[in-house]
Chain A
Amino acid sequence: MTGGGPVFPGSFPSIFSDRIRSKSDRNPIDGVPIEGVPIVSDNKTTRSLSRSGNSFQDGLRQLRFTLRDPVLLVSIVSILIVVLLFIIFPLFSILKESVYYQGSLSIHHFRNFFRQAYNLDIVWNTIRLGISVSLLGTVVAFLFAYATTYLKIPSKKFFRVLSILPMISPPFVISLAAILLFGRSGLITKQLLGIRSDIYGFWGLMLTQTLSFFPVGYLMLTNLLQNIDPSIEEASQALGASQWKVFRTVTLPLMIPGLANAALLIFIQSLADFGNAIVIGGNYTTMAVQIYQQGIGAYDMAGATALAIVLLSISMLAFYLQHQVIGQKSYVTVTGKAAKERVLIRNKSATIPIYIVCMSISVLVISMYALVPYGAFVRLWGADFSLTTKWIVYVFTIGRRYIVDSTTLAIISTPIAGLLGIVSAFLIVRKKFPGRRFMESSILVAIALPGTVLGLGYVLTYNTPPLILTGGSVILIIALVIRSMPIGTRSAIAALKQIDPSIEEAANICGASSKKVFTSVTIPLIKPVFFSSMVYAFIRGMTLVSTIIFLVSARWQMLTVAIMNQVDQGLYGAANAYCLVLIGIVGIVMLTMSFILKRVGVNLKEGY
């Protein structure tokens, strides 16, 4: 895992490490160095192709080479079309809308936006929250990562499982649970302490976002920590450093780029977060929520676009920093090569405090997740704790179509997202064609796109001719695909870079066309990544709120939107019951998938 974004499926490629990587002594990051001469598929080389004088001809030659293969051509063109229509064009629509006022170019909307103190508060709210969450989240993530890789402590497996939970649950389960615990009629606040406290606002958001997003940082930092060669630290010890000194003078400095990377990653997620923010934000409004409220609630599209551009700029800046500035400073190269076993730290003055902190956080998270199923059977939270099945009955009768619609759309979008992800990654890593760089950066940038921005873009673009998609199921499927495909692409890119290109070349030279190479060699080799990105796509399809809230209609309803509406009306029982059903469906699908895959020899869980 080198980059940002949720790391979830990205950690799967390591499954294959023993079988492939060990045979490769080529640099997996830069492609194939041919005796020091960078080949054309090297990122840097290709970037410069468009600059130098000779390059146009070279481009044409490449194009002609590519055209010889119709399957290749069709897949390149269709992915470029998808990227253009559903990533680039909606963003362009937002930009266009934001700079037009009464038919001419104008900064009117931006001036209007920045003139209102309320809007500036929102921007400040968002940034303040983002920074706080990213700092706190990184600290927690590092504690967990350090504890599980460096310390001799029990219950490591429990910590690892815990780190996956927030990634496969709807984004606002933690918020919902926080309300049940600390809300106006919360278990702890009202029942235990008897105070009328209010979790809604900054502190509530900080708590829930930290708990929701630290696992992403945890996976990334764990990966990095595991790849620090223990002999570096042993060398430091041999030179007379105590364990604490080793940590302070070697481990921590080595991790600084990684920590900054994790912080930016969490920052981007906090900026984009819609689910927690709308449920628990209260009067503390963030930009992601305001875009929705201004665009859909107040129907001030122009104002919403100005806001969206501001939010987009901040996320893109963070994304840029993460990838360009920090990405290149990393001391720890993730080679995936298993370094020798690390001698775990037994020093009790380190293990005990860290264990206690990690355990308390874990217990908090687990109890939050336990609260939701429990809440589904409680008659009226805070007032009447008697058990009832009325909410479950409710969601299976009145709420049934939400469940059916959501599941149907998720099932349809899953294979599309999985296939697009893997094909685009294959093209990006292995093929040379004009537009390759554009394809790669657009898809990777889409990971950092706030969901509400994309939703707004879709409404603006596909509400009017020539292509009207809103109101139907197609645009919902597209939204689900676009929200999950980029992550599949990125993990497949990472996996492909671990596979020596000569394996595919060998197939090619044995007489296989590029389509045949793909189906008979590439796909079998990155099967685990392929299936894990499908699982991820399904989960994402079931749990996405931000983008689709702009796109749901009377004809198509989504489970997550239903949950949000219930929370909005204070019907926590129904919301809990929906959440329970959702987690149930996701759980069943994951279990079935890993069961089936295990029978065909793919182990999904090994990546952790």
Chain B
Amino acid sequence: MRTNAKSVQLNQLTKTFITSTRGEVKAVQNVDISIGPGEFVTLLGPSGCGKTTILRMIAGFEMPTSGAIMIGDQNVSTKTPDKRDIGMVFQNYALFPHLNVFNNIAYGLKLKKVPHDEINRRVHEVLKLVQMDDFAERVPAQMSGGQQQRVALVRALVMEPSVLLFDEPLSNLDAKLRVHMRDEIRKIQKKVGITTVYVTHDQSEAMAVSDSVVILKDGIIQQVGSPQEVYQHPVNEFVAKFIGKANILNATIVEIEKDRAVIDVHGVNFTVPVTVPSGKGAADGIGAAGSKPREKGSKVRIVIRPESVLVGKKDFKAPVMKSVYMGTAQDYKIEFLGNAIEISDNNPTTKRVYNEGDIMEFSLDEGSIHII
């Protein structure tokens, strides 16, 4: 299989829908995204955030209200989907129910008038890629969801497109299969080296597959960054809460230096790192880094991840309000510094487990506390 990866640039992409009930709805606002060749980028956000609309504009099913879409060095904004050299995998697979697996995959190649024996070769090549060589004669109705999704994936891949789009491809699968398929998608993407744009509302899926994650809310980009960046250094409360669990607390800056600060949380002082988010630019004004004053005495919000609380160390004491055994972890809710804080203590079988009403002893990993 050849690789034909190209970059994708979205410049000030905006899409406005006009509805009779709500007037103008800005589904996507001034979105700038730059995706390098072979990069795997995920558009992540709750439903209604505009991620699917962006994907459908890249595909050509929706026309942008303004802005441009570049694939490679070509502006494709006004091209119809069949002229964009794009592959797409749909949420519900969208296999042609009247064609068998072979003909589903061969469909686009036949349109391109690829010679018969080459079609044969290429279809079997991609079927091998997903270990489905024996399924060529099946029709979609005779296959499981996971199998259908594999066929949908290679139907897109066989065309050797310059960009591959995924529209929530795993949301119709059960939890186990979802994990398996996302690993398979990532593996194949790396092997083929194709530029990929992937839409999902599942943050763990996004973390697992992406080089880079774009977090959207109400049609506006909140943050762009690697999975580590967006998890460790969320630019605002929305991102912090959307990516993983987060305890958000009020704090006051007591002392601030270049790379560390002392903050006061409900009368207790912590020394925490000060980081400048290295993500590729957040949306203007919406909680972007640097937009809030950070000087002595200023009020800030901090993020404490559930795993930053180290249970068993003896720095602090707090009453346990809830204790739930989760198998790989014991989840607690404790009352600390005037807030209810959620904690996740890994590997509980080897440790003391606190019950509701117990007083828990713990310390905080100050280095992982993050100011937003």
Measuring CB to CB, which residues of chain A are less than 8 angstroms from any residue of chain B? 16, 18-20, 23-26, 34-40, 42, 44-45, 47-49, 51-52, 54-55, 58, 61-62, 64-65, 68-69, 500, 502-503, 505-514, 516, 520-521, 524-525
Contacts and interface: CB of A to CB of B under 8 A. Distances in A.
B199 to A, nearest CB: 10
Contacts of B21: 44
A25 B107 contact: no
Contacts of A44: 19-21
Identify the interface centre among B19, B63, B88: most chain A CB within 10 Å of its CB.
B19
B228 interface: no
B100 to A, nearest CB: 13
Given A25-B172, A52-B23, A510-B108, A505 B61 contact: yes
B68 to A, nearest CB: 14
16 contacts: A16-B97, A25-B172, A35-B47, A35-B48, A35-B52, A44-B19, A65-B78, A69-B80, A502-B92, A505-B81, A505-B88, A506-B88, A507-B96, A509-B81, A512-B111, A513-B82
A26 B96 CA distance: 17
B282 interface: no
Contacts of A516: 111
A507 B59 contact: no
Contacts of A58: 18, 65
Interface in B151-171: 152, 155-156, 159, 167
B160 to A, nearest CB: 12
A555 to B, nearest CB: 44
A506 B96 contact: yes
Interface in B65-97: 65, 78, 80-82, 84, 86-88, 90-97
Given A48-B20, A507-B96, 8 more contacts: A23-B148, A38-B19, A45-B17, A45-B18, A500-B92, A505-B61, A512-B108, A514-B80
Identify the interface centre among A45, A58, A505, A509: most chain B CB within 10 Å of its CB.
A509
Interface of B: 16-21, 23-25, 27, 47-53, 56, 59-63, 65, 78, 80-82, 84, 86-88, 90-98, 107-108, 111-112, 140-141, 148, 152, 155-156, 159, 167, 172
A238 B88 CA distance: 48
A447 to B, nearest CB: 25
Given A18-B141, A38-B17, A512 B25 contact: no
Contacts of B27: 34, 37
A506 B82 contact: no
Contact of B97 (A42, A503, A507): A503
Contacts of B56: 34
Contact of A39 (B16, B17, B82): B17
A52 B18 contact: yes
Contacts of A19: 97, 140-141
A291 to B, nearest CB: 38
Nearest to A432: B63
B97 A502 contact: no
Given A505-B59, A511-B112, A23 B107 contact: no
A525 B18 contact: no
Given A35-B52, A40-B17, A511-B111, A20 B97 contact: yes
Contact of A510 (B17, B20, B155, B172): B155
A506 B63 CA distance: 17
Nearest to A37: B27
Contact of A508 (B47, B51, B81, B93): B81
Nearest to B64: A61
A54 B16 contact: yes
Contacts of A20: 97
B50 A35 contact: yes
Contacts of A45: 17-20
B78 A510 contact: no
Contacts of B47: 35-36
Contacts of B172: 25
A393 B11 CA distance: 80
Nearest to A68: B80
Nearest to A510: B108
Nearest to A525: B98
Nearest to B45: A35
A38 B48 CA distance: 10
B17 A54 contact: no
Contact of A506 (B23, B60, B90): B90
A500 B148 CA distance: 15
A516 B27 CA distance: 31
Given A34-B52, A506-B90, A54 B24 contact: yes
B53 A37 contact: yes
B107 A502 contact: no
Nearest to A527: B98
B25 A37 contact: yes
Contact of A34 (B53, B78, B94, B156): B53
A23 B59 CA distance: 21
B20 A511 contact: no
A48 B97 contact: no
Nearest to B201: A35
A67 to B, nearest CB: 11
